[in-house]
Amino acid sequence: MTALSQRPVDPVVGRAIPHESAALHVSGKALYTDDLAARTHGVLHAWPVQAPHAHALVTGLRTTPAMDVPGVVRVLTADDVPGTNDSGTKHDEPLFPTEVMFHGHAVAWVLAETQEAARLGAARVEVDYEPLPSIITLAEAIAAESFQGARPTIRRGDVGTGFAASAHVFSGEIQMGGQEHFYLETQACLAHVDEAGQVFVESSTQHPTETQEVVAHVLGLSSHSVTVQCLRMGGAFGGKEMQPHGYAAVAALGSVLTGRPVRVRLNRTQDLTMTGKRHPFHATWRAGFDAEGRFQALEATLTSDGGWSLDLSEPVLARALCHVDNAYWLPHVEVHGRVARTHKTSQTAFRGFGGPQGMLVVEDILGRCAPLLGIAAGELRRRNFYTPGQATPYGQRVRHAERIHAIWSQLEASGDVLARQREIAAFNAAQPHRRRALAMTPVKFGIAFNFTAFNQAGALVHVYKDGSVLINHGGTEMGQGLHTKMLQVAATSLGVPLARVRLAPTRTDKVPNTSATAASSSADLNGGAVKHACEQIRWRLAEVAARTLGVGAQDVLFADGRVTSDRGDQVLAFDDVVNLAYHQRISLWAAGFYRTEGLHWDMSRMQGEPFKYFAFGAAATEVEVDGFTGSYRLRRVDIVQDVGDSLSPLIDLGQIEGGFVQGAGWLTLEDLRWDTGDGPGRGRLTTPSASTYKLPSFSEMPQVFNVSFFEDAHDDGVVYGSKAVGEPPLMLALSVREALRQAAAAFGPPGHGVDLASPATPEAVYWAVEAAQASTKTAGTSAEAVATSAATTAVHAASPGEVGR
């Protein structure tokens, strides 16, 4: 067996090839879960009965009127559940609730011959409610002390000592919004039961094994009686890691009870109002710096809005706490975390999984404190970078910390940052109503699941007698290119052309006990498993070929469908060697397994080494802001990202570009709003469609968009030396928000700073510009008395003597 990161000569990995389904995507031929319903005979359609209250008791439920609607076959309620009426993994999410916990909560499901009949039937179901007091906002939850789950703390050193040694101490708070996944394909599943009672579920899920377990749990079956398949997803971004389980359980329950296939597919409004989103966060903080602007102490409390149930809120919070440091050394730190319970959808995983929220806290601190310290924001960041030998607040050494500095320098050079900053200064001096700014921010993102047990994967590889190859693995494809990379890994490992390898859909009866396709770890985990399976087969074939070639098995070489040795005097076709092996009764299939070594994590102490490695990157963003309206445009973005030795450069490039734009959407455009009034619509999502929820489009793309891979970035201990790329680029968009802050501040006097809401919508930028312009009229006011902006995130600058107050 070869070392995990070792590449052969001329490998298939590292080639820039298109996504394996690209032609199917653009031609409309790619099949998704809901497409399968049209190919299935006798399908019933499910429609939810949604509650019109944010919080209420269900005191009566009458389904008989729905049965009078032509085409309605059955109404599913809690009385129909043969197993456990719960669709979560924390046992806090009743599938059919008796207590409504958010506006739009489904209390029953109607099955009918057509979707329209199901909709009309759902409207006829009579439900009696007893409204209860509700908590909608984070501020309300904090005031009411409405919390759920664990309340972890990360601590190093003594913050009291750090503040006492600080030359400057500042305090403040920030509130950041959530984000809707808005995947193109909404939640969808199709279930049917065979003649033996075996339940088969087609689900658009990132976590087929967990979907399998929840379905079995609801039906009162063992896992071997339920098979879940994920053909492909039309986007997911974390929103299909936990959320699909309940819908799959509804479809499976309906199929078991009726004996017919059942389809659940949410329309866009249902998906927006019923599914979880990125967690909004609120943070209060106090930061101490020495005279040179280096962190001495940081104390913070992060509160996430978990919605009505825990879902993945605890691990999201843990990752947020683990990324408050981002790329910066914090000698004394104490960060507390808590999850608020509100009467909204149960917030869930979203690309970055809490990391972006944690990083935003520290980047906001540096952006707001830089003017108060009289240090350029970029320079303040650079001074605080980790250096080799230093460790994170949770005790993990930052391996390759020197790459942060190298990436920063490479970005400054490739982005011509210094010259452009001079041009921006000249532009701002000449333009009374427009301002430009350029900001740079780094990223250090830990790669692995915080929950150590999830860092494992399996694969099943078949080599057929004609030399063709079929692979199964436990990861799911949501457009991110995982399957493409696995095809390249298999072709490289076996030494065959890419065209000889095919990949089958992810199924729980092929590869069991899989982890979610999440945490940016899927290429690492599944790639390791695929490589392990392929190398078992290759070694068996090497032993067969060695007898013909007259060499030792260890000297047999596989490349491009040919089998030879170091001597090179004889060449065999891979297909012929396979045929020889078959006739010698040599196994031509193998199960592969991979577990990430070196991980350990004590959740109770928030200490250990939870990550295999860190992915580094940096971005430089230039913006232009209109002083009259607050509108802005991204003039140029330059990115340098550490992807190790890329498995598939074209795929990685797309992930970096897409992740950045999605992050920019979260930070500048996407503004989730709920009705917080006391009327009958309290708790209702008021942005339930693309017409009310602003998404990034081509018009928001930067005019110039340059992406470079960090060179000489091989990483030992990872499949073929590659590194994760799914989530880290999203956080590069923090540079957009910081550039907008600097541009707004440029409307004020030199050295003036402003606060900026998140998301930094044009309205929020307008108010920041107003605050900057107002400060020009009162230029005598000291920087320590910065006015509170519309974002209500004022910085208070305290002297070291005030720290004890």
| Residues designated catalytic | 727
| Cα 134–Cα 137–Cα 140 angle in degrees, nearest 5 | 70
Q: What order do you get walking across the sheet with 501-503 strand by strand?
A: 501-503, 469-473, 456-463, 589-595
Distance in angstroms (rounded) separating the CA atoms of residues 722 and 19 = 18
User: What is the CB-side half-sphere exposure of residue 44 using CA atoms within 13 A?
Assistant: 28
Q: What is the DSSP string of 716-749?
A: TTSGGGB---SSGGGGGGHHHHHHHHHHHHTTSS
Report whether 288 contacts 331 (CB < 8 A).
Answer: no
Q: Which two tokens stand for residue 277?
A: 């989103």
Distance in angstroms (rounded) separating the CA atoms of residues 303 and 218 = 32
At residue 682, φ and ψ (nearest 5 deg) are -55, 135
- CB neighbours of 19 closer than 8 A, spacing ≥ 6? 25, 479, 481, 484, 650, 651, 654
- Whether the CA torsion 93, 94, 98, 104 is positive or negative: it is positive
Q: Which two tokens stand for residue 317?
A: 């919070």
Among 257, 208, 367, which Cα is nearest to 752's?
367
Q: Label residue 161 exposed, middle or buried (CB < 10 Å: 0-12, 13-18, 19+).
A: middle
Distance in angstroms (rounded) separating the CA atoms of residues 448 and 440 = 26
> Would strands 44-50 and 262-265 be described as parallel, antiparallel, or unpaired?
parallel
Q: Which two tokens stand for residue 380?
A: 């303040």
Compute the radius of gyration of the chain from its Cα atoms.
28
Report whether 389 contacts 299 (CB < 8 A).
Answer: no
**Helical pair 734-745 and 649-668, crossing angle rounded to 10 deg:** 40
